Structure 1
Amino acid sequence: MQHRSLKPALMAVLTIISACLLAFTAKAGGESFEIYLNNKLILRQAVSQSLTLQSLQLDKANKEDQLVIYYNHCGAIGKGRTIAIRDDKGNVLKEWKFDDATKGMTIAVKELLQLEKTYTRTNLNIFYSAQQMPKGRTLSALQFTGKSTTWRYQHESWTVWPIAFVR
């Protein structure tokens, strides 16, 4: 009677177990962003998510409020980051630059409300760019009335989230 080696069978079992474990491993990294109003999360979006349109409304936002945006580049903070407010044609109406050490990008709501007065009847977009993403990305639309509609910027291929400011 010959003894067969168990080594090939053991290798086959280990290969199958490894393949099964890898099938359930979460992918690390990926780009995402979060928007907070006065430390309350109002939007979280992973850039790789499938297209889902949703409306958000910021009721009773006033000039003392703070909007904070966090953009995650595969687990890292972007370099040379800017947040801009753009119109439908892509014209920059207002821009904020942020240092590389600060994680959150804070914008005073009073500055956004001032844009409402200056650019009535204009669709305004929150636009993010950084050295890692020089072409940038539209994060959200701004609406200053109680109406809440969703739309997509023509040149974007993923979700745009409207945010409405009601005084």
Structure 2
Amino acid sequence: MLQKINCRPLAIRSLMLIALCATLFAFSVNPGGDSFSVYLDNTLLLDQHVSREGVVTKTIALNENSGGEMLKVYYSHCGKVGTGRGISIRDEQNKTLKTWSFPDSEAGTSSGMSCRVKEIVALQKTGKNAVLNLVYASKELPDGRLLARIATGNNDKASLK
């Protein structure tokens, strides 16, 4: 004698399992955390989530002919803009060559930090292929964080390596 199988509870359990899996996979492996973006004028060069694992630092190549262009950095501390913010250019020996300080922004706004490419290229002292470090610091991150390396030279375009 065949028993009648009720498919309704099985279907409900299957849908609940699918919903649970979808919910769990929606979360990041590294929840929270900092993130940053680097723009050349309005062109996104770098967008990165900062994690605890070692991340390879990218190199941004800037040209000498982009004097009027602005390098813009947006940094987020777990979704919030930092206080006492600044970006600096350091040489390969970690010596600070120049620092730009920025005012605190109002809550809920995303305020970028800008500096002229011409000023960065002018800091190059050791030849046409000097590599400089772009570093962000704030009250939340007083020791600073290396965001990218900057290679300057007479290439035709800004690029990311």
2:44 aligned with 1:41: yes
CA distance in 2, matches of 1:58, 1:110: 9
- The verdict on how the C-alpha distance between 1:55 and 1:128 changes in structure 2, with shifts beyond 3 A counting, is closer
Partner of 1:120: 126
TM-score by length of 2: 0.70
Aligned counterparts of 2:96 and 2:56: Cα–Cα separation in 1: 26
Say how many residue pairs are matched: 139
Matches within 5 A, 1:72-83: 72-83=76-87
Question: Which deviations, in whole Å up to 9, do the C-alpha atoms of 1:56-79 show, x marking residues without a partner?
Answer: 434575111111000011111010
Q: Does 1:71 align with 2:72?
A: no
Partner Cα separation in structure 2 for residue 43 and residue 34 of structure 1: 5
Q: Quick check: 2:67–2:116 contact (8 Å CA) kept in 1?
A: yes
Structure having greater relative contact order (Cα 8 Å, sep ≥ 6)? 2
Q: Deviations over 1:5-53 (max 9, x none)?
A: xxxx9xxx6x967753542232453211101111111111111277356
Q: Work out the percentage of aligned pairs sharing the same amino acid.
A: 35
Unaligned regions of 5+ residues in structure 1, if any? Answer: 1-8, 148-161
Hey, what does 1:144 align to over in structure 2?
152
Give, in whole Å, the separation in 2 of the partners of 1:83 and 1:53.
16
**The residue matched to 2:75 in structure 1 has which SS?**
strand
Q: Which residues of structure 2 form unaligned runs of 5+?
A: 1-8
RMSD value over aligned CA atoms? Answer: 3.2
Question: Please, what TM-score do these two structures have when normalized by structure 1?
Answer: 0.68
Alpha-carbon shift at residue 109 of structure 1 (Å): 1.1
8 Å CA contact 2:62–2:153 kept in 1: the answer is no
Match of 1:31 among 34, 43, 56: 34
Q: Describe the shift of the 1:33–1:123 C-alpha distance in structure 2 as closer, same or farther (beyond 3 A).
A: same
In 2, Cα distance between equivalents of 1:83 and 1:67: 11
